[in-house]
Amino acid sequence: MIKTVKKGVIFNLMVAVVLLFTAIATAGCMSATKIGDVMADSSKYEGKTITVKGTVGDTVWLAAADKGTYQIGDGSGKIWVITTQPPPQKGLTVTTEGTVQSAFTLLGKSYGTVINETNRH
């Protein structure tokens, strides 16, 4: 004997499946940290992995060293990102993930704040 399934049950099942896939797809997404927050209190973020999203400004690529850097801004501030892949084109909007660190240390004092990129979206 074959039972007839009501249209409402099928619709509810389809909605549940779509919601489940949406939840799975967004579970790994990290929210972006405001660059201004990082620059205002860099010691709070030192050594932590963060995600920032913004527009690419100036870029530098040292092909001989396979390293480069690019500046990214999100309206709240700007920060330099150190990368081992060619920097994105100026004007593009990118999301990057990386570890916050001081740009350099001289006589025990840290100067500047950068992100050491581990992943770019």
Q: pLDDT tens digits, residue range 32-44?
A: 999 999 999 999 9
Residue with tokens 């993930």: 97
Q: What average pLDDT score do residues 3-25 get?
A: 59
35-120 folds as OB fold (Dihydrolipoamide Acetyltransferase, E2P) (2.40.50)
For the chain, domain boundaries: 35-120
Residue % of the chain over a pLDDT of 90: 61
Inform me whether the pLDDT recorded for 107 exceeds 90: no
The pTM of this model reads 0.73
Mean pLDDT of the chain: 84
Q: Which pLDDT belongs to residue 15?
A: 62
The Cα 87–Cα 12 span in angstroms is 46
Q: Which pLDDT belongs to residue 14?
A: 67
